[in-house]
Structure 1
């Protein structure tokens, strides 16, 4: 297994819109395309407003296929466009691919 940590710096005044998009559009499409999100968090202390989440994939090939099918899905393209009709919801997206150590509780 590999994991992907994603951090979204939220545009000013767009937090509710981003969370609505994740709940109503993104998360259902993640399930459709085999992207397993293990959890979502708001940053409470530190740089914020920020939404972070952790995804799990079988391997890098699975990750590449899943993201490619997600990003090309017409539902995603339409949902993203509708949610950003008044401007982008994020200022910056950072992601990291993680490989567990042998002593990690999550493998």
Structure 2
């Protein structure tokens, strides 16, 4: 099976974070207080955040990022993970130990009948 052309339409990146038990509030605070501001400065666009209300893991945060292309994603995400402010915020938020147990990432393409394009 051939992969779909990821350069033809808007790409959504789904990221799922499993927080260390008891640390989800710290993860949410890091996004709310720091990460979103850094993303805004770097031009990274979020498309929504969700916590798991009913399901197998209540320590889970799921969010979507919207990208014009994989090239845009690579450039902006690289700028983010090397950003001095982000590195400082990340280190400070984990001063008492890790807050994330596991991260999973998928790239999603809207179908031709999707309400999200």
Q: Calculate the aligned-residue CA RMSD, in Å.
A: 0.8
Cα shift readout 1:23-66 (whole Å, capped 9, x = no counterpart): 11111111111111111111111122101101101110001111
TM-score (norm 2): 0.88
2:105 to 83, 87, 95: 95
Count how many residue pairs are aligned between Structure 1 and Structure 2. Answer: 107
Residue of structure 1 equivalent to 2:35: 26
In structure 2, distance between residues paired with 1:43 and 1:52: 8
Pick the structure with greater CA Rg: 2
SS at match of 1:56: strand
Moved over 3 A (4+): none
The runs of 5 or more residues in structure 1 that have no matched partner are none
Residue of structure 2 equivalent to 1:13: 22
The runs of 5 or more residues in structure 2 that have no matched partner are 1-9
SS at match of 2:88: helix
